[in-house]
Amino acid sequence: MIAKKYGFNLKNVGAKMNNIKQLEKRERELVRTSKELAKQMAKYREMIPLAQLIYDMDIGKSELISFKVAVNEAAETYRLTPPAAALRVINII
């Protein structure tokens, strides 16, 4: 028992090794999560300024949901793509 010879408490060494394993596992999880968040951020980067405009105009969730419903109805009624239906709804408004 070399560890005992140098004054190490075997229980402490075992506990610390277990903690290291747990920390390494957590590190891997954080790296994976960080990569996923970076992908999401890149995907939505151009949407952030638009979201800020919507927020600045005090447009809330209920208004956005109503707009979405109107766009879906216009798309179905007039057989339009969602972007074309959105323009139609905006023109009607």
- Condensed to tens digits (0 to 9), the pLDDT of residues 26-77 reads 999 999 999 999 999 999 999 999 999 999 999 999 999 999 999 999 999 9
pLDDT tens per residue, range 81-92:
999 999 999 999
Q: Residue 80 gets which letter from DSSP?
A: -
pLDDT tens per residue, range 14-33:
788 889 999 999 999 999 99
For residue 48 the two structure tokens come to 């952030």
**CA end-to-end span of the chain:** 82
Please classify residue 40 by burial: count the beta carbons closer than 10 Å to its beta carbon, then call 0-12 exposed, 13-18 middle and 19+ buried: exposed
- Give the whole-angstrom CA distance, residue 77 versus residue 37: 38
Residues 85 and 75: beta-carbon distance below 8 Å: yes
Per-residue model confidence (pLDDT) at position 27: 97
- Give the whole-angstrom CA distance, residue 62 versus residue 55: 13
